[in-house]
Amino acid sequence: MRQRVVAAAHSGLIRRTGQTVPVTEAAPAPDSRDATIAPRYGLEVLAVLGVSLGLSAIYAVLSYARAEITVKGGIAATTATVVRGSATSYPVLDLLDDLADVLSGLLPAFLAVVLLARDPAGRGLGIGLDWLRARRDLLPGIGFTALIGIPGLVLVWAAHELSINASLAVVDVPDQWYRVPLLLLTAAQNGIYEEIIVVGYLLTRLRQLGWTDSRALGASALLRGTYHLYQGWGGFAGNMVMGLIFGWWFQRTRRVLPLVIAHSLLDGFSFVGYVYLHGHVSWI
């Protein structure tokens, strides 16, 4: 039986069977992390996008192509609905269906958070998703709402006038008691879903893959614009610009929560505003 001998950390000798034997430093085991990190992160990113916004981008491109090929007048002759709710003679069941849709949009973001928690890029998750600082993040969130929202309205009007966008039936939810709360909940889901995945998660993992900030920023913004292409080129351009601004700010602050707040407020104003302004403003 071979006896294991443990030497003190500072000792260079081991005494065994009356002999003094010099200790040689063992060669460190090769670290396979560097060799596997890129493929592992790369496959992880493809998997997350494949069950979330990457798949949405594919559907948006197909929707745009179908409109241009099969509809006389192309995308400008179509109508795109942003929020659609169930409408049957059973409103309680409709509401449950709609809440399940909201949950399905939150789960990919939850997956991204879980993956970041297992292998973060900094303190906490490394993306500034600290709800204890929500009050401090509220002001920049409101600022981004104004920065993106006001020019966004101008862009929607211009795209409508230039016939490069589909007509937007922003909300198609039955006029039930729960319509406004459901729209606000959907707006919050959109903010969490998109900003955590396309900004917080994607820009973090692309940096870990060795991408430059400018290259990662371009990819993130392009993805955001592409999954809005079902609205037409106006929706693509406006959301790509939004992606560039949001992504640039995140790369410098590593805080995604203000972007979640801003996106949620933007969608909330858009959805509820459409309900009360549609039919009273010609281009809404």
Note whether residue 94 is domain-resident: yes
3-class secondary-structure state, position 193: helix
Note whether residue 27 is domain-resident: no
Q: Can you give the pLDDT at residue 3?
A: 46
CB 231 within 8 A of CB 225: no
Q: Strands 79-84 and 167-172: what pairing?
A: parallel
pLDDT digits (tens, 9 = 90+) for 112-142: 999 999 887 666 577 988 777 778 899 999 9
Note whether residue 1 is domain-resident: no
pLDDT digits (tens, 9 = 90+) for 17-30: 444 444 444 444 44
DSSP structural state of residue 166: -
CB 191 within 8 A of CB 260: yes
3-class secondary-structure state, position 211: coil
Note whether residue 21 is domain-resident: no
The structural domain count of the chain equals 1
Mean pLDDT value across the chain:
85
DSSP structural state of residue 198: I
Note whether residue 250 is domain-resident: yes
Q: Can you give the pLDDT at residue 29?
A: 44
Which DSSP string do the residues of 228-258 spell out, in sequence order? TGGGBHHHHHHHHHHHHHHHHHHHHH---HH
pLDDT digits (tens, 9 = 90+) for 240-270: 999 999 999 999 999 999 999 999 999 999 9
Note whether residue 119 is domain-resident: yes
3-state SS track over 62-114: HHHHHHHHHCCCHHHHCEEEEEECCCCCCHHHHHHHHHHHHHHHHHHHHHHHH
pLDDT digits (tens, 9 = 90+) for 60-110: 999 999 999 999 999 989 999 999 999 999 999 999 999 999 999 999 999
d(CA 257, CA 131): 8
Size of the chain in residues: 284
Q: Can you give the pLDDT at residue 122?
A: 62
Q: Can you give the pLDDT at residue 152?
A: 80
d(CA 194, CA 247): 12
Q: Label residue 15 by pLDDT band (50, 70, 90).
A: very low
3-class secondary-structure state, position 15: strand
* Between 214 and 151, the higher pLDDT residue: 214
pTM, whole model, 2 decimals?
Answer: 0.83
Placement of tokens 């409109």 in the chain: 67
Q: Reply yes or no on whether the pLDDT at 111 is more than 50.
A: yes
Q: Label residue 213 by pLDDT band (50, 70, 90).
A: very high
d(CA 60, CA 49): 14
Domain ranges, residue 156: 36-277
CB 81 within 8 A of CB 170: yes
Q: Can you give the pLDDT at residue 166?
A: 81
Q: Can you give the pLDDT at residue 131?
A: 72
In sequence order, the 6+-apart residues with CB closer than 8 A to the CB of 149 are: 265, 266, 269
Q: Is the dihedral of CA 178, 184, 186, 188 positive or negative?
A: negative
Note whether residue 96 is domain-resident: yes
Q: Can you give the pLDDT at residue 257?
A: 95
CB 260 within 8 A of CB 145: no
Q: Reply yes or no on whether the pLDDT at 14 is more than 90.
A: no
Note whether residue 9 is domain-resident: no
Q: Strands 19-22 and 79-84: what pairing?
A: unpaired
Which helix H or strand E contains 168, and what residues bound it? Answer: strand 167-172
Q: Can you give the pLDDT at residue 31?
A: 44
For residue 65, what are its two tokens? 């192509």
Which helix H or strand E contains 167, and what residues bound it? Answer: strand 167-172
Q: Reply yes or no on whether the pLDDT at 10 is more than 50.
A: no
